[in-house]
């Protein structure tokens, strides 16, 4: 058997080498750790959070949880609108949302799916605090104790909280309200809404539930609990108060909460409003992605958007087609310039390189605005064409506010990104190759096509990737010169981020665009090979 080779310290040589390699890898990892951490914090995590918005939909369930739960029992086929318990739940949820100023955010979210819901929630939010007042008056008329905050605390608060509050010396925040377990069992609706009332009073108003009379919807919830369970048993000093109220509620004047909401706005009669709330109540949704491809969620399943609203597939196709056109245009215009840079004497090549780099010294907005002046109907280009007789004065070319203007302006702006990779690759191609080909009998064209061009393909690949990826993400230039026919999908993403504030749809559009780019990158790697892309050397 072969003798085991040992290191200087007596350990097996193989183990010693593995330990040394691990140390080298650890040192290398520690050296790049700050960069990895920086990229993680400033790039990966923010992008991940933004893309998560494309499926996140928690605002509906968090803002109106009782309504969402009550809608599960709604028979969509039998009832045009949900039954009364759903409206009762909505009244309670909306009261909390108004106090927390969240009802407008909820309305804005649902307004993305159905126009008009935002104003519906705003209008109803201004009047919801009156719902249940008829029950408040009758409970107080039955016994004035129902108007006292102490009555509600004694009925619903956990004894531990009462003791903690009594021991509180007034400094700092009041102990957070704790609901009694017995109250949750005996008076579930009342306990639920009163817990929210106490939380809002403590956190938003910096007051105490022991000093504030409950909202009217709390009395509505108490009425519903007593009506649903008139024989409930409440122990403690307030049992007689509750028993007498349970006996009296059958004779109370009632409020039709459904009619009250319909009085706020007729849209509460519209089944589509409730369908929208129900459809988008889950915490996560594919609705943004469906909207991104001109589809929509309905109660029956996925369906196409109305024809006059189908714009995103057109924009995606236009973005891909025009980006490809811009890339090809840059190749056709940039290849001769790069060849001249690589083959001219150094002094002339340097002067030409300055002209290539000159656009980088000028603001993108200025360059784009200049093209708007040049391309317009009465602009320099059309005037020149009329002057030389190429077009008639009454038949000027439409070069602005369309796809033509976008392609011309973006080709000019992105041309340096094609020239520079081509130039760096062409510089490495020895001129002796062409001379050798010609000495063997090849024509100028054959020498170029069979010898020179194949060696420049890596530069074309690098420039194409740069120009194509940059072009599909441009939105300033298409916005200024593209009009309605020359804008890209990136313009719509920018609109939803900065104007409509529909970040979920913007994230979904961005995610689809990212997936398309990655798919094209994969296809390019399979067909051409990413290893063949070079920037020189």
Whether residue 64 sits in one domain with residue 47: no
Residue 523: is its pLDDT beyond 90? no
Other CB atoms within 10 Å distance of the CB of residue 519: 10
25 in any annotated domain? yes
The predicted pLDDT at position 535 comes to 53
Whether residue 172 sits in one domain with residue 80: no
Whether residue 265 sits in one domain with residue 241: no
Side-chain half-sphere exposure of 516, counting CA atoms within 13 A: 18
80 in any annotated domain? yes
Alpha carbon of 502 to those of 61, 145, 294, 297, 400: distances in Å?
A: 18, 48, 16, 17, 29
Residue 334: is its pLDDT beyond 50? yes
CA-closest candidate to residue 74, choices 62, 60, 84, 63: 84
CA 428/CA 304 separation, integer angstroms: 54
User: In the chain, what are the helix, strand and coil shares in percent, each to the nearest 5?
Assistant: 70, 5, 30
Whether residue 281 sits in one domain with residue 136: no
303 in any annotated domain? no
The helix or strand, by DSSP H or E, that contains position 301, with its residue range, turns out to be strand 301-304
Digit-coded pLDDT (tens) for 341-357: 998 888 888 888 888 88
The predicted pLDDT at position 397 comes to 87
Print the SS3 string covering 33-47.
HHHHHHHHHHHHHHH
302 in any annotated domain? no
The predicted pLDDT at position 77 comes to 78
Alpha carbon of 288 to those of 360, 451, 493: distances in Å?
A: 37, 51, 12
Other CB atoms within 10 Å distance of the CB of residue 308: 6
Whether residue 443 sits in one domain with residue 401: yes
pTM of the entire predicted model: 0.82
What are the residues whose beta carbons fall under 8 Å from the beta carbon of 114, sequence distance 6 or more? 272, 273, 276
The predicted pLDDT at position 1 comes to 46
The pLDDT confidence band at residue 31, using thresholds 50, 70 and 90, is: confident
Query: For 29-44, what is the mean pLDDT?
Result: 88
The predicted pLDDT at position 3 comes to 62
What are the residues whose beta carbons fall under 8 Å from the beta carbon of 212, sequence distance 6 or more? 149, 201, 205
Digit-coded pLDDT (tens) for 198-210: 999 999 989 999 9
The predicted pLDDT at position 236 comes to 74
Whether residue 119 sits in one domain with residue 143: no
Q: Among 128-137, 340-349, 524-533, which stretch is predicted with the lowest mean pLDDT?
A: 524-533
Residue 536: is its pLDDT beyond 80? no
Whether residue 87 sits in one domain with residue 136: no
What are the residues whose beta carbons fall under 8 Å from the beta carbon of 145, sequence distance 6 or more? 151, 241
pLDDT higher at 230 or 378: 378
Query: For 7-26, what is the mean pLDDT?
Result: 78
Phi-psi map region of 501: left, alpha, beta (phi>0 left; psi -120 to 50 alpha): left
CATH label of the domain that carries residue 378: 1.10.3720.10
90 in any annotated domain? yes
8 A C-beta contact, residue 165 and residue 177: no
The predicted pLDDT at position 5 comes to 66
Distance of CA 439 to the CA centre of its chain: 62
Whether residue 17 sits in one domain with residue 83: no
The predicted pLDDT at position 8 comes to 65
8 A C-beta contact, residue 172 and residue 255: no
Whether residue 180 sits in one domain with residue 41: no
Q: What are phi and psi of 301, to 5 degrees?
A: 135, -160
Query: For 257-285, what is the mean pLDDT?
Result: 92
8 A C-beta contact, residue 145 and residue 241: yes
Provide the token pair at 90. Answer: 């909505």
Provide the token pair at 414. Answer: 């992105």
Q: Among 123-127, 390-394, 405-409, 418-422, which stretch is predicted with the lowest mean pLDDT?
A: 390-394
Whether residue 249 sits in one domain with residue 174: yes
Digit-coded pLDDT (tens) for 95-111: 999 999 999 999 999 99
How many helical (H) and strand (E) elements, i.e. helices and strands, does the chain have?
A: 28, 2
Query: How many domains in the chain?
Result: 4
pLDDT higher at 5 or 425: 425
The helix or strand, by DSSP H or E, that contains position 5, with its residue range, turns out to be none
Counted residue by residue, the chain has a size of: 537
275 in any annotated domain? yes
CA angle 235, 236, 237 (to 5 degrees): 135
Provide the token pair at 346. Answer: 């150094």
Whether residue 241 sits in one domain with residue 337: no
Query: For 31-58, what is the mean pLDDT?
Result: 90
Domain with 239 in it: 132-253
The predicted pLDDT at position 298 comes to 79
What are the residues whose beta carbons fall under 8 Å from the beta carbon of 452, sequence distance 6 or more? 429, 433, 434
What are the residues whose beta carbons fall under 8 Å from the beta carbon of 57, sequence distance 6 or more? 109, 280, 282, 283, 284, 285, 287, 504
The predicted pLDDT at position 253 comes to 94
CA-closest candidate to residue 207, choices 253, 173, 179, 167: 173
Provide the token pair at 266. Answer: 């007729």
433 in any annotated domain? yes
The predicted pLDDT at position 391 comes to 86
How high does pLDDT run on average in the chain?
Answer: 89
Whether residue 483 sits in one domain with residue 377: yes
DSSP conformation class of 298: E
């Amino acid at each position: 058997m072969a003798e085991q080779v040992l290191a200087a310290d007596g350990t097996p040589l193989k183990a010693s080498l593995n330990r040394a390699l691990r140390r080298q890898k650890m040192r290398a990892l520690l050296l790049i750790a700050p960069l990895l951490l920086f990229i993680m914090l400033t790039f990966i995590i923010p992008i991940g959070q933004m893309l998560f918005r494309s499926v996140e939909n928690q605002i509906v369930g968090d803002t109106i949880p009782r309504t969402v739960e009550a809608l599960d029992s709604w028979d969509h086929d039998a009832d045009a609108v949900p039954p009364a318990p759903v409206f009762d739940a909505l009244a309670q949820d909306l009261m909390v949302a108004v106090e927390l100023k969240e009802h407008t955010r909820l309305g804005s979210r649902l307004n993305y799916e159905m126009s008009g819901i935002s104003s519906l929630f705003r209008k109803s939010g201004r009047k919801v605090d009156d719902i249940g007042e008829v029950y408040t008056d009758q409970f107080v008329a039955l016994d004035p104790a129902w108007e006292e905050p102490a009555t509600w605390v004694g009925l619903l608060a956990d004894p531990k909280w009462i003791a903690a509050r009594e021991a509180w010396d007034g400094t700092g925040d009041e102990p957070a309200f704790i609901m009694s377990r017995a109250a949750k069992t005996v008076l579930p609706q009342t306990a639920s809404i009163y817990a929210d009332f106490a939380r809002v009073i403590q956190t938003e108003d910096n007051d105490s539930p022991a000093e504030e009379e409950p909202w009217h919807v709390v009395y509505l919830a108490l009425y519903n609990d007593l009506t649903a369970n008139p024989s409930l048993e409440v122990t403690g000093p307030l049992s007689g108060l509750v028993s007498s109220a349970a006996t009296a509620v059958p004779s109370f004047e009632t409020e039709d909460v459904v009619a009250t909401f319909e009085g706020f706005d007729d849209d509460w009669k519209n089944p589509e409003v409730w369908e929208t709330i129900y459809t988008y109540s889950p915490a996560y949704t594919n609705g943004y992605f469906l909207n991104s491809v001109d589809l929509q969620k309905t109660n029956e399943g996925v369906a196409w958007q109305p024809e006059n609203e189908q714009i995103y597939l057109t924009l995606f196709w236009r973005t891909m087609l025009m980006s490809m056109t811009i890339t090809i245009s840059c190749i056709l215009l940039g290849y001769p310039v790069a060849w001249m840079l690589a083959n001219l004497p150094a002094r002339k090549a340097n002067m030409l390189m300055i002209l290539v780099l000159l656009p980088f010294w000028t603001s993108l907005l200025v360059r784009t605005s200049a093209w708007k002046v040049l391309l317009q109907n009465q602009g320099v280009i059309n005037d020149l064409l009329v002057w030389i007789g190429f077009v008639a004065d009454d038949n000027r070319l439409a070069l602005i506010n369309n796809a033509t203007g976008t392609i011309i302006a973006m080709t000019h702006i992105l041309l340096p990104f094609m020239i520079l990779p081509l130039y760096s690759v062409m510089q490495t191609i020895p001129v002796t190759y062409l001379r050798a080909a010609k000495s063997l009998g090849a024509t100028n064209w054959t020498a170029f096509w069979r010898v020179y061009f194949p060696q420049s393909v890596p530069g074309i690949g690098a420039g194409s990737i740069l120009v194509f990826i940059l072009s599909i993400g441009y939105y300033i230039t298409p916005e200024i010169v593209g009009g309605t026919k020359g804008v890209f999908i990136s313009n719509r993403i920018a609109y939803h981020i900065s104007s409509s504030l529909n970040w979920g749809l913007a994230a979904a559009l961005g995610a689809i665009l990212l997936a398309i780019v990655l798919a094209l990158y994969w296809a390019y790697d399979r067909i051409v090979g990413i290893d063949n892309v070079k920037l020189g050397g």
